[in-house]
Structure 1
């Protein structure tokens, strides 16, 4: 057997590869291979007593112990890397291994031996065993059964704080956070912070059947809380709740809850915090200690296992964290508004008496019909009964009514001409109340449907020249009269043009005679 321990000890003492090869009787290539493999595996001096040459060989070259059997050796690193990929299983890898053996005319290991050898390798040399859980596949979430507390500064009473726990089953890395409530807002906020702590999202989230995550869960039907479903969609993950009364569907977080109850909640039993922020600072310190604690039966810690074996498999996070939203339903009132928390928001009038879904965020109200957004408004706060009305949502007759303001009247007059402006100004200044003046101007404005702007401006100019007290009725009369006069003149011009199309007749004078009319 090679002198593995001596090679590593000489390297630790600073001898050159040439000197080590000469001292141990091995080639420099072999010495280099052993030293590089030891560095890759993290084996450094000083070596302990139980690290014999046989132990080091099994640690650095686990495949050598299988070569003596005459069977095709196993590439454990390749198997471990492939198992991290989606849908890759040991059964598939064993089938590919058998195919390779037949091509190389080697004897393959049976599936049972294949699995046993990989398990032995992973348990000894890797932080995670990928047979049960793939990296980056699942995040399990739950509330801890035990509670922490903060102290009210005013009364000195203890206030309960609930601990949210999220665990990645592959590496067992956990996240914990204290909240003052177990409501939907706290549940969503804790998820946002957990994803930020892990630095990525998993393919699947497994929660319990609490109301914040599941609305209905039976054998035939699963209905997720719409806000929770929206959050999962934001992070491109799928929610698969544990079955009712089946905690084994999320064993990792169930186990972590018990451990965290000891190493975080119980460890903080004598720590006094006066705000939830102070409590979470202490929770984070204990959480970091917990994730860095070495495993008892294998090498590494939860944090090292995550960084080496799982972090690469997480999906990247969106540019912004999920913004909390709440869903409600409402019926569109006859005035084409819906009532949400005693505030009123308009929708297109075509949806009157329809049932719609309403999505509420901190600053926005979005209204959906059959999953299609039909309106959005800035969210209203303050005094109850405020209105948010969009002009385009009104029927045409309501639009016309709303447009009856002095400002709109002046703007319209300016678009027609200066004489129309004078008429409008006179009506606004001399007709009381103003609403009556606006009704008159609105009647004048409607004439634009039958007459051109030129005709309206001409009529206003004429009425101003006739009287110092113009009225809409007199302008309407002038418009009709002018229209009739213009039509008669146009008819006369057309008649003259038609007559002239036949040329002209020469009189008697042309021929030297005398006209009878003379």
Structure 2
């Protein structure tokens, strides 16, 4: 705004038009108008300028905008400021909605002009600044402080599920989803899901200064930089990431309120139920999020209605391709023809067992490379650790017939690899039960647990049990196996003992007539 009093002083001091334009950033026309007023009023000294009142200045240099502003009803910004100080949930949007709904013949300011006038009121009265939001400009993100629990039905293991929240401050539209980890991969994946939920990209994303998003180039350096992958995400979606200032919660006040709402209406409602998978939990969270976005404020308007009518069109367009995180690893194929990656197992052709392959990991796929050639692809697994993804063509022929798993044939086929004594023990155990399946667990324990001590030792223990006619069982074999300290220390193969009973004369074989037998006189002395 042109300060006519300052221009008057500069003209009286003899400054040129160019100097005044450069100093006050005003037009030459404004300077010429002031110069004409000085000439007509006979003002030539600084003392005369000091005696000029503001009312006289307003009469000499009328502002056309003041007449136009008289057509609008002026908001009560003092009352708005007091409401914001006493109610932390009170926003400028609510104040503007109340201003518009008031009865009166005068025109009402739009929301953007209302915010600009409030900012002028704050600046002119030296009040604490309040951040106002523009539609589609920012999205604030953060982790909720509280967690949920996922219980594995197979192992009974309890895992923490961390709640991620994203909010558009203008409309208050909320997105929330749970994750089993808080690492960078999960952080970016949840960002991708958030912008897809809003069907658009904001101009700015505001996280806090968590280690997931930023890092310090040097220790104790106050400057924090974005992680490379986080920056790649921002570039892909054409947005800017501006972390909130340290210890400045007002910079992300909207997400703080959204997290508080999520803690009350999502975690508070779902924490008392048992969730067996993260997918099941996220389905329940989606229902709660929809209810939150459909809640109506005191003016009868929901977050979704504000978002649909005013903000959705202001968001940027989503790119044609979804952002995909790519990670490369080199892993060795194990003896079970699987590679272990991020606690999950993926099969490779059994002929590659023992070789090192290159692994490409994305959010959805796991690709195995032998050199530059693609060996196979798997759908990436998440959730419970230790899961297996096995393709049928990767299984060796000896393992392909799985129809007889945990059957008499299956156990006997395995026992043959140890020896005949082991096969006999397994047979006797299975024959001992009326319901054959009741002996499967004993057979499994013998072959898996005791078999780890060596095939020769288990075979020797089974032979000893058979020699003593003891009842074959896991406990008996374990006790016998404890006495066999090595593969060489094994009981000898039993042999039939010699007969010590003298046969009867009738049982002795009869000599034939052609057999020559010496008489007793042959053995007398002197001959």
TM-score calculated relative to the size of structure 2 = 0.42
User: With structure 1 as the length reference, what TM-score do the two structures score?
Assistant: 0.42
